[in-house]
A and B are shown apart, each in its own frame.
Chain A
Amino acid sequence: MNGLPPQNPNFTTTNWSVVLEAGQTDCDRAARALEELCVRYWYPVYGYVRRRGSTPHEAKDLTQAFFVHLLQNETLKKIDRQKGKFRSFLLTATTNFLANEWDKRQSLKRGGQHQIISIDDTEAEELYRQEPSAALSPENLYDRRWAFTLLNTILTRLKEEYAATNKAELFAKLEPGLVDEVNPGLYAEWAAALNMSEGAVRVAVHRLRRRFGELLRGEIARTVATPAEVDEEIRHLFAAIAN
């Protein structure tokens, strides 16, 4: 076997700790790092703003305005290095933004000409419409959406990695093995379909899961301040999904 697919080259270039470290000194660098995170995680913010009672149009403007505000040097400098995870930072920042700035902003500029992230109205509302209608608080919705965004990102990346090493077919076949307790019959079936030995399929499933776990931890590591917080973050998201 050729071993695991190569790591995504962009994987470790930036993360939340860069923002925390560079915020005081190198605002441009911090802003770039933060922007990259924001582009990935804009939807949880949108969902949160919507659930707080804004109309789609307002929510889009507010989300846009929020990210403009967030990436200002003044805001970057104020980021508390003790504050921990990007996820909770983003939620707190959104909350404060909505509470303190909203009214002022709505008379001044609603996001204005600046656009940090590209929000597609239809896409955003399409996603929002899928949200469970049960009594999810904005905060619950935010966490849940965060986790789903994260997992979708990882699934996509995993698929891309396999595709990059010409293993798209293997991935397509074994993907259900990520969360299933694969029974022996299924291994045999996959083995036949892929023209591999059953043992090799077992190993491949094991590697698929392992790689998923690695990518997951890697991505989470980008959003927390220290590697030690990765476990805690997984647990938090695990619990949040239940709610």
Chain B
Amino acid sequence: MSLLVAERIGVQFGGVKAVHDVSLSLERGQILGLIGPNGAGKTTLFNALTGFVPKASGKVLLENMDITNTPPFELPKLGVARTFQVERPFEDLTVLENVMISSFLKHSQPKAAKHHATDVLEKVGLLDRANQKCSELNLARRRRLEIGKALALEPKVLFLDEVIAGLNPPAQSEMIGFVKQLSETGIGIVMVEHIMRVIMTLSDRVICMAFGEKIAEGTPAEISNNPVVIDAYLGGGEDDD
């Protein structure tokens, strides 16, 4: 039984097919990379799988349970967590309070939630910032907070939407190591990322999307040598057709 299976997902905005017939499956402890040029539909696919955008077609199964039409706020209870491409901290709350909101999912008592959130902050290295307002964090810390909030939900599946792009090289390596560690604890991770090097080092398998469709799937080595993928990224010259 796979951890997460998505079958022939389709998303439509008016007459535009933003995502068309994309299927994927994910096992425990696996990292699935999602790449593709701008506008390929990666984030839309994320939003569809996490219930933020309605699906026109397809089916999503979490450990064989149908979660196709589960509203987004029910998914964390079932073990699905996500981050947003543009981080969305609750700006006026402190770092600790932000994570506590996640911790409340499994710990309804404020004391227990605070304790749990403190543990999570230690894990993502933000404990020294616990009482600071989120509006004052730098990008790297906002990213870590975003992941901390998702982790505090104690998920089985984690969707990471571009958590590495935009960070400086040392912060990138740090984040790569952190994501690797997470997958080793058994969490299944689906990640969108622009930086090839990152996707290639981290992913067990990679899906490449273009124009809303899946154009290739395979191991990082297979993908990086796939002519269709190279074509999608570098732009096929009309002369070749």
Tell me if chain B binds chain A: no
Residues of B within 8 A of A (CB): none
Residues of A within 8 A of B (CB): none
